[in-house]
Amino acid sequence: MAPSPAAVAAAMPPAADPEREEEAEQQQTKWGAALEGLVVGSYCHDVLLRGGRVVGETLGGAAAFVSNVLDAASPPEASFAVVSKVGPDFAYASAPAPARHPSLLCPAPTTSFHARFSDAVASPAAHAPDRQLRRVHACDPIYPDDLPERRFAYGLAVGVAGEVLPETLERMIRLCRAVLVDAQALIRAFDADGGGGGAAVRHMALEGTPYARLLQRVAFLKASSEEAPYVGVETARRRCCVIVTEGRDGCRLYWEGGEARVAPFPAVQVDPTGAGDSYLAGFAVGLLWGLSATDAALLGNFFGAAAVSQVGVPTFHPKMLQAVKQILEDKERRGLCASCKLIRQLTTTVLIFARHRCRLHRQVHADLKFTGK
């Protein structure tokens, strides 16, 4: 029987609790000197197109979005390493990008995607595909030997172009105490060039892939509502806790014997790219702060909403981050665990910073002439 989300969340070591120092020390000896995470997946170049016209070119790749949120909101004692491949053409090596710079340089070109947004629909249904993706270049896969030879407190498998091989995921599972996986790393298939440039991205059933047998050793599997049918939530929830993100409707957690819906935060969507990546990182950060899985999902929703409000890897207002960290620290200190209190506090933060976001939207629209959804 699959463990409950509470049990799985407990597998993820929270930041130091002074009352459990001895236990923390034992865990540290077993799982490495620090509360260190391992993020595996390639950075990429994203080209956003609307009506056949390029409306934005940005840094992309789930690992870039993830490292941005981990850097911004992890507890002070938590750190992480990124294993990510890019080619010599990587366009953001010297840019003061908010995300970490990728670690491995390859002779192959940097992975790149073209995302075609439709002009026809102003605001698509919550679960409809929001864009058509084509993979234009693919960098090298990430091999098990590319991973550092040490133990990690947690791992995030966040591939975008099939670069996290089954054997690499297996190695992550061996190295990390708890592994969180984005389904997009496992179920993407790339159709040969049928004209139009690059390979069309489609999904295949997870059950038919070599990743399926690893699921029972994964803590959390996150899928978008578009990916969920390919994951097979009913089968997967018997092996690990499954999170399905539902765009502006928030998310749902499924485990064997239960499920929970977690409400979204308000957002004005400018660019949906990276919402799921930022969500997963926010969720992991929540677990590191010692939140329950459903409260951590709330933090996931918070960072997902922040991601759609900007084009590319988002920058967060330092005061907003300070406010969020204060909420998380208070919760730790006072042992508060009521979701409704967390919702109230985070919603207030969202509303306070909505004005800042509006200013940022105007600036982004002006800079990139991105017409939004």
Ligand X SMILES: O[C@H]1[C@H](O)[C@@H](O)[C@H](O)[C@@H](O)[C@H]1O
**Kind plus residue range of the DSSP H or E element containing 327:** helix 318-334
Q: Is 55 a residue that touches ligand X (CB under 6 A)?
A: no
- Find tokens 């920058």 and name the residue: 315
The length of the chain in residues reads: 373
Task: Give the residue among 82, 79, 83, 104 at the shortest CA–CA distance from 93.
Answer: 104
Q: Is 243 a residue that touches ligand X (CB under 6 A)?
A: no
Residue 191 tokens, joined? 């159709």
Of the candidates 277, 295, 330, 367, the residue annotated as catalytic is 277
Task: Give the residue among 267, 265, 274 at the shortest CA–CA distance from 360.
Answer: 267
Helix segments in 74-156, DSSP class H: none
Using CA of residue 278, residue 280, residue 286, residue 288, what is the dihedral sign? negative
Out of ligand X, ligand ATP, none, what residue 198 binds, judged by CB under 5 to 8 A for its kind, is: none
Q: Which are the contacts of 38, defined by CB distance < 8 A and separation ≥ 6? A: 80, 81, 83, 147, 148, 152, 154, 155, 156, 172, 175, 176
Which of 38, 44, 218, 327 lies at the binding interface for ligand X (CB under 6 A)? 44
Q: Is 184 a residue that touches ligand X (CB under 6 A)?
A: yes
Q: How far is the CB of 62 from ligand X (least distance, A)?
A: 4
Which of 13, 162, 250, 274 lies at the binding interface for ligand X (CB under 6 A)? 274
The stretch among 148-156, 272-280, 289-297, 325-333 that binds ligand X (CB under 6 A) is 272-280
Q: How far is the CB of 77 from ligand X (least distance, A)?
A: 28
Q: Is 61 a residue that touches ligand X (CB under 6 A)?
A: yes
Binding site for ligand ATP (CB under 6 A): 224, 245-248, 250-251, 264-265, 267, 269, 272-277, 279, 301, 304-305, 308
> Rounded to 5 degrees, what angle do the CA atoms 14, 40, 114 make?
125
Active site residue 277: yes
Out of ligand ATP, ligand X, none, what residue 156 binds, judged by CB under 5 to 8 A for its kind, is: none
Q: Is 62 a residue that touches ligand X (CB under 6 A)?
A: yes
Out of ligand ATP, ligand X, none, what residue 133 binds, judged by CB under 5 to 8 A for its kind, is: ligand X
Measured from the CB atom, the residue of 178 and 223 that comes closer to ligand ATP is 223
Q: Is 226 a residue that touches ligand X (CB under 6 A)?
A: no
Measured from the CB atom, the residue of 43 and 265 that comes closer to ligand ATP is 265
Provide the residue type at 280 as one letter.
L
The stretch among 83-91, 274-282, 289-297, 332-340 that binds ligand X (CB under 6 A) is 274-282
Q: How far is the CB of 23 from ligand X (least distance, A)?
A: 36
What b/e string do you get for 273-307 counting C-beta neighbours within 10 Å, with b at 16 or more? bbbbbbbbbbbbbbbbbbbbbbbbbbbbbbbbbbb
Q: How far is the CB of 347 from ligand X (least distance, A)?
A: 25
What b/e string do you get for 214-237 counting C-beta neighbours within 10 Å, with b at 16 or more? bbeebbbbbbbbbbbebbebeebb
Q: Is 98 a residue that touches ligand X (CB under 6 A)?
A: no
Task: Give the residue among 63, 24, 268 at the shortest CA–CA distance from 163.
Answer: 63
Helix segments in 48-112, DSSP class H: 62-73
Q: How far is the CB of 301 from ligand X (least distance, A)?
A: 16
Q: Which are the contacts of 368, defined by CB distance < 8 A and separation ≥ 6? A: 55, 56, 311
Task: Return the residue nearest ligand X (CB atom).
Answer: 60
Q: Is 133 a residue that touches ligand X (CB under 6 A)?
A: yes
Q: What CA–CA distance (Å, rounded) separates 160 from 149?
A: 24
Which of 277, 323, 328, 368 lies at the binding interface for ligand X (CB under 6 A)? 277
Out of ligand X, ligand ATP, none, what residue 339 binds, judged by CB under 5 to 8 A for its kind, is: none
* Largest pairwise CA distance in the chain: 61
Out of ligand X, ligand ATP, none, what residue 246 binds, judged by CB under 5 to 8 A for its kind, is: ligand ATP
Task: Give the residue among 257, 207, 202, 261 at the shortest CA–CA distance from 232.
Answer: 207
Q: How far is the CB of 69 from ligand X (least distance, A)?
A: 12
> Rounded to 5 degrees, what angle do the CA atoms 298, 251, 278 make?
65
Q: How far is the CB of 127 from ligand ATP (least distance, A)?
A: 8
Active site residues: 277
Binding-site ranges for ligand X (CB under 6 A): 44, 46, 60-62, 65, 113, 133, 160, 184, 273-274, 276-277
